[in-house]
Amino acid sequence: MPFLYAKTEYRGEDCIEITGFTSETRSLTIPDTIEEMPVRSIGRHAFAARNDLQEISLPPTMKRLCRFAFHNCRNLRKIRLYDSVEDYYDGAVRQCGALSEIELVTDGSSFALMKEMLEGCDHAVSFYLRMPSEDIRLSFPEFALIASENTMARTIQFAYEGGGYAYRQCVRKKEIRFREYDRLFPFMEHDDPSFAAVIAADRLLYPHDLDAAAEERYTAFLRAHAAEALDRFIRDSKIDQVRLITQRGLADEEAVSRALEAASLRKETAICAVLMESGRQLRETKGGPRSSALELDDW
């Protein structure tokens, strides 16, 4: 087994701490037991500065992520873990600039781990919460802490730039304030329209505690920015978001045709199929002849 590890104790229990990995891999799955003992911890700097890692899956036995466990893994894009993690130390995923999705299995009684991970991640990131009764997906914009010198007062003043800080404050240790999260959207419409499309699609696809006014606002935004939203979702290989826009009729025939060209160039076969079906339905609705849009034979 290519894992490096040490036998240790966690809260009085004999267990295993992972300290490294000797091989290169794009997708890493941490086992739940080694030598018949539970794996409870990822040690300090265990996977720091590894450029091979793109996805990491942690077991439900995991209890502790030590400082800088995955620090500076520049190509890390996704982490799967459980809310069994009780001790999450600062810097565990710091400077993982490509990290865009965190899948968290939780019973919904506590969001402390989600809150801690958000606080240590200032770039844009999406959380996919797998809960017993339903799944929830929420995306959080980037933000920056800006320091400026006030020469008159001889002080350093700090300010947050970007909507990400305000969005993160909607996550508390025991709850997520969905209505507060939704009320921030008008700011994102102007601050970052591209990421606003991500937020809107997530809330429409996973509408937990989504009121009618917020649903209408998200829908209107995607209709007004359908072409740009489709372009982003195609680049990110997000078929569910593309299907959302097409099935709800938020994109016109021109936007669908342009999106199909883009998806074809990127060899996104499944997305092409969704767009072809949408284009066919739009033409049938109009009752017009076959347009110049790509068809299945073209692909």
DSSP 234-278: HHTT-HHHHHHHHHTT-S-HHHHHHHHHHHHHTT-HHHHHHHHHH
Can you tell me the mean pLDDT for 25-34? 97
Q: What is the pLDDT of residues 127-181, one digit of tens each?
A: 999 999 999 999 999 988 665 566 666 676 655 678 899 999 999 999 999 999 9
Q: Using a pLDDT cut of 70, give the percent of the chain over it.
A: 90
- The number of angstroms, rounded, from the C-alpha of 145 to the middle of its chain's C-alpha atoms is 21
Half-sphere exposure of 140 (CA within 13 A, CB side): 29
Determine the Cα–Cα distance for residues 297 and 237; give it in Å rounded to an integer: 22
Residue 171 is given by DSSP the state B
Of 284 and 169, which is predicted with more confidence?
Answer: 169
CB distance 164 to 122 below 8 Å: yes
Domain assignment present for residue 135? The answer is no
Domain assignment present for residue 187? The answer is no
Half-sphere exposure of 33 (CA within 13 A, CB side): 3
Can you tell me the mean pLDDT for 260-289? 89
Can you tell me the mean pLDDT for 47-76? 97
Domain assignment present for residue 129? The answer is no
Give strand pairing partners of 127: 102, 138
Domain assignment present for residue 237? The answer is yes
Question: Quick check: 77 pLDDT over 80?
Answer: yes
Give the domain extent around 262. Answer: 226-286
Domain assignment present for residue 31? The answer is yes
**pTM (two decimals):** 0.89
Extract the tokens encoding 9.
Answer: 């104790």
Domain count, the chain: 2
Q: What is the pLDDT of residues 199-256, one digit of tens each?
A: 999 999 999 999 999 999 999 999 999 999 999 999 999 999 999 999 999 999 999 9
Domain assignment present for residue 52? The answer is yes
Return mean pLDDT, the chain. 92
pLDDT of amino acid 169: 95
pLDDT of amino acid 152: 63
Of 289 and 73, which is predicted with more confidence?
Answer: 73
Question: Quick check: 29 pLDDT over 80?
Answer: yes
pLDDT of amino acid 299: 46
Question: Quick check: 296 pLDDT over 50?
Answer: no
Determine the Cα–Cα distance for residues 228 and 34; give it in Å rounded to an integer: 48
Domain ends where: 78, 99, 120?
Answer: 99
Extract the tokens encoding 5.
Answer: 């590890």
Question: Quick check: 58 pLDDT over 70?
Answer: yes
Domain assignment present for residue 171? The answer is no
pLDDT of amino acid 155: 72
Question: Quick check: 91 pLDDT over 70?
Answer: yes
Domain of residue 42, CATH code:
3.80.10.10
pLDDT of amino acid 284: 84
pLDDT of amino acid 158: 54
Q: At what angle do helices 269-286 and 253-265 cross, to 10 degrees?
A: 160
Smallest CA-to-CA distance from 49 within 5, 93, 102, 88 is with 93
pLDDT of amino acid 220: 98
Domain assignment present for residue 145? The answer is no
CB distance 275 to 263 below 8 Å: yes
pLDDT of amino acid 286: 73
